[in-house]
Structure 1
Amino acid sequence: MRVFSTPRARPPARSNAEIARDFLDLTMRMESGRYLPYFTRFEGPITVAVRGTPSPTLTTDLGRLIYRLRTEAGLDITQTSNPDASIIVNATTRKAIQKVLPQAACFVAPNVSTLAEYRLARRTKLTSWSAMRERKKITIFVPTDVSPQETRDCLHEELSQALGPLNDLYRLADSIYNDDNLHTVLTGFDMLILKTIYAPELHSGMNRRQVANRLPEILARLNPAGQRPPGKLQPYTPKEWRENMITALAPGANMGQRLRAAETALQIAKARNLTDVRMGYNWYAIGLLTERSDPERSFVAFQNAYQYYQANSGTDIHKAQVASRIGSYALRNGNPSMALKYIEPSISAAIKGENAALLSALMLLRSEALMRNGMATDARAARVDSLGWARYGFGSERELKQRLRVLTGFSPL
């Protein structure tokens, strides 16, 4: 099994004025849109302890994540065996998590330590983020009976939420704090947000205006490259667009309802001029929803998604996800050269984004395309190289074969 070593996070490219707006929306609002009365964080050193049945890769990946938080975000955070740690990582099973929250892969909750405690305290003031004035005890629940990458992705998303942002913003191209889930590990922007949250100028209990007044000075110090005039501010995400996208991509509705929701969202995006990553994601969703029923329409949707992502900066991982779908379509339709045109530039993006599942799929699609172009030696090398990443990204070669069969209509193994 292959794993990533050196982090490749890039610093944010936006101005500090834009980042300040993002910061306030991430830290002072909930995903529901409700404003939080108080800014909250841990005060003093932060400790992290693991309970339950952690897998070997969870232990390794948690250590890497804590190291990154210390070195990139400057946090005073350490792992401990003390049961009274600030943050508990409760390693459990997917089934146990979904007994409590059926749609959740993993989640985070304040002031509880176990799923049983959460079940009793759910919807009470004890587990209310808006009732907090300071963070003191938070638990993240992550599954360990899934692929190593799924466990790692949960660690990054939920541990960072325990430390800071409670909101996700669809407009962010360079952040894990986006419900599109295309970034799977903390980015340079995310580390800057966390570093700002724990800046000495801020403290728990401040209101939105007090935080906003201090942000220009903090960001000027932490991100001097961002001291420039802001670009055009992206519009806020309309509530109705967000609700339709949730319907489109959630498994609850039937396929017809999901596709209609995606189409309605697209109409809203066009009317509101959401020409950023949100438009790309909307087209990507339509491509996914029509991939089996109408491959030609799906292909056009994926091409549209790719074009919108290409027109926006910081979208390499987004383009790579779409490229895997376009490459698959090209192979199904006997065009290996077209597949390589999209796949080959995307491999480096998957490496930089530390997405082993995507990387192994791209490598195997590349192997199939090379084989069809008569380059058998290169094809075999690409196939062998992909399998180590597949074990981390998918958990097993069997799971990889099943995913690829769905993606391509054949198994290139």
Structure 2
Amino acid sequence: MFVSRVFLTGLFLLAACAAPEVPPPAAPGPAPNTRASAEPLPPMRRFPVRRAAPPQRANADMAADFLDLFFQLESGRNLPAFTRFEGPISVRVVGPTSPTLERDLTDLLTRLRREAGISITRVPAAQAASITVQVIPSRALQNAVPQAACFVVPRVQSWTEFEAARSGNRLDWATLPRRDRVTVFLPGDVAPQDQRDCLHEEMAQALGPLNDLFRLTDSVFNDDNFVNVLTGFDMLVLRATYAPELRSGMGRDDVAARLPALLSRLNPVGDTIQSKQRAATDPDWINQIQRALSLSGRQSPRVRAARRAITIARRNGWADNRLAFSHFALGRVVLNEDPEAALESFLRAGRIYGADPLTRLHAAHVALQMTAFALSAGVPEDAVRLVDAHAPAARMGENASLLASLLLLKAEALRELGRDTEARTIRREALGYARYGFGDADIVRRHAEEIATIPPS
């Protein structure tokens, strides 16, 4: 299940399916700049299809992560057996599609064949398939599974079958002997990037692991949702999933016994890397993070939950992405009420993320907050420096909404510095990515207009 990312990207709610928003200024500012509302938008920009970099971790750690991903559900419930599709896999799409969704699916299937070695092909919508991708309105999705932007279920081939099966155990992954029919439900009325992100995570779960682990940094199988396209780690997990050494029905011990030799064959460099396996994540920390980032809760309990998450992370001795995410969550929750406390939290999160090469994309999300602070404080030079340092990570992570917002902030900073020609060029590039990241033209223009109001008068 892909959890809605509306609360994760902070200042502008970058990946939300609704219009982005900006906190009110601390002091009266200039009148809203409305030049964005009249300007024509450039063509949509997309990222080139690129092969993911190989995972930089020990095979012993890969094996531990593989077992925890496959033998547990996100709820914490254990799964009795390893399951996968046996034989070639077919994919069909049902419902209204768009040119961007068609291209993103084609690109994803190409990557799965090339990088994960999976025999997977597209078939016509009228033909039965191993995996059905059904596109439906986001409201129907969220009515069925609140807080989910999209999800995947076994044993059904349509929304009608899904609704009919909800009252029994037909949709229970734990009862599967193997995977034969699976359906991915995607929203059809969201931005192209949101559809692509859903497609990557739900297709990955349809094919492989059903769990998410907060300790992972370079994977879509992490509920912090900073990483949204399949990584080298994910492709290695999927390649191992469909290796001949494994088969549906194996228990955890059987899979564990085969993984060392299997991973040595698929990823020999992993045998030369020292193990740095991280401890399991405290369930209480997960509960506190979920409470802190809940959009429906009252403010004071959310702040308490974020602070408790920091306490739990420190008590467990975590100095990794989980402690950083705790600080990021606190900064997000207090941003409007206490900007100084938010700034301190973002700084703490940024230092932790910045120390790990695998969390450069996470650091770029924090840098977005810091860039907005720098611009509003009247130091556009710092805003330009921050964007230049972190925009490459947003590009490599293929996050168009994040990249667009960083570039729009840089354009405003350049304008403040009197570098108008550069500002116009950067702004046009930003709007091209924003069309993919935010979709709707009115939302793109409104987002650009809101960013234009950030510089102080």
TM-score norm. by structure 2 comes to 0.87
Give SS of 1:349's match. helix
After TM superposition, the structure 1 stretch with the greater mean CA deviation from structure 2, 243-252 or 58-67, is 243-252
The residue correspondences of 1:121-270 to structure 2 (distance < 5 A) are 121-122=165-166, 124-228=168-272, 230-270=274-314
Q: Per-residue CA shift, 1:207-244, capped at 9, x if unaligned?
A: 00000000001100111110125333211100000011
Q: Per-residue CA shift, 1:24-53, capped at 9, x if unaligned?
A: 011111112222100000000000000011
Mark the CA change 1:285 to 1:94 in structure 2 (over 3 Å): closer, same or farther: same
Task: Specify the alignment match of 1:27 in structure 2.
Answer: 70
Mark the CA change 1:387 to 1:243 in structure 2 (over 3 Å): closer, same or farther: same
Mark the CA change 1:405 to 1:293 in structure 2 (over 3 Å): closer, same or farther: farther
**Whole-Å separation in 2 of the counterparts to 1:210 and 1:409:** 59
**Whole-Å separation in 2 of the counterparts to 1:314 and 1:182:** 11
After TM superposition, the structure 1 stretch with the greater mean CA deviation from structure 2, 90-99 or 263-272, is 90-99
**Whole-Å separation in 1 of the counterparts to 2:382 and 2:365:** 16
Task: Specify the alignment match of 2:391 in structure 1.
Answer: 347
**Whole-Å separation in 2 of the counterparts to 1:114 and 1:47:** 15
**Whole-Å separation in 1 of the counterparts to 2:355 and 2:275:** 15
Give SS of 1:47's match. strand
Deviation at 1:174, TM superposition (A): 0.4
Deviation at 1:153, TM superposition (A): 0.5
The residue correspondences of 1:312-351 to structure 2 (distance < 5 A) are 312-351=356-395
- Unaligned regions of 5+ residues in structure 2, if any? 1-43
Task: Specify the alignment match of 2:407 in structure 1.
Answer: 363
The equivalent position to 2:156 in structure 1, one of 90, 98, 112, is 112
**Whole-Å separation in 1 of the counterparts to 2:332 and 2:453:** 15
**Whole-Å separation in 1 of the counterparts to 2:140 and 2:65:** 34
The letter of the residue matching 2:106 is G
The letter of the residue matching 1:13 is Q
The letter of the residue matching 1:272 is N
Whether the 8 Å contact between 1:280 and 1:309 is mirrored in structure 2 is: yes
Whether the 8 Å contact between 1:8 and 1:353 is mirrored in structure 2 is: no
Whether the 8 Å contact between 1:48 and 1:80 is mirrored in structure 2 is: yes
TM-score norm. by structure 1 comes to 0.96
Aligned residues: 412
The equivalent position to 1:377 in structure 2, one of 421, 439, 442, is 421
Whether the 8 Å contact between 1:387 and 1:397 is mirrored in structure 2 is: no
Identity %: 46
**Whole-Å separation in 2 of the counterparts to 1:8 and 1:47:** 22
**Whole-Å separation in 1 of the counterparts to 2:369 and 2:442:** 20
After TM superposition, the structure 1 stretch with the greater mean CA deviation from structure 2, 314-323 or 26-35, is 26-35
Whether the 8 Å contact between 2:293 and 2:329 is mirrored in structure 1 is: yes
Mark the CA change 1:264 to 1:404 in structure 2 (over 3 Å): closer, same or farther: farther
Mark the CA change 1:26 to 1:20 in structure 2 (over 3 Å): closer, same or farther: same
Q: Per-residue CA shift, 1:70-94, capped at 9, x if unaligned?
A: 0000000000015310000001111
Alignment partner of 1:279 is 2:323? yes
After TM superposition, the structure 1 stretch with the greater mean CA deviation from structure 2, 168-177 or 7-16, is 7-16
Deviation at 1:98, TM superposition (A): 1.6
After TM superposition, the structure 1 stretch with the greater mean CA deviation from structure 2, 161-170 or 248-257, is 248-257
Deviation at 1:409, TM superposition (A): 5.3
**Whole-Å separation in 1 of the counterparts to 2:61 and 2:452:** 40
Task: Specify the alignment match of 1:3 in structure 2.
Answer: 46
Task: Specify the alignment match of 2:121 in structure 1.
Answer: 78
The equivalent position to 2:87 in structure 1, one of 30, 34, 44, is 44
Whether the 8 Å contact between 1:331 and 1:408 is mirrored in structure 2 is: no
Deviation at 1:117, TM superposition (A): 2.0
Whether the 8 Å contact between 1:325 and 1:407 is mirrored in structure 2 is: no
The residue correspondences of 1:302-321 to structure 2 (distance < 5 A) are 302-321=346-365
**Whole-Å separation in 1 of the counterparts to 2:388 and 2:405:** 12
Task: Specify the alignment match of 2:338 in structure 1.
Answer: 294
Deviation at 1:2, TM superposition (A): 1.0
After TM superposition, the structure 1 stretch with the greater mean CA deviation from structure 2, 63-72 or 328-337, is 328-337
Give SS of 2:129's match. coil
Give SS of 2:357's match. coil
Alignment partner of 1:57 is 2:100? yes
The letter of the residue matching 1:29 is Q
The equivalent position to 2:110 in structure 1, one of 67, 78, 82, is 67
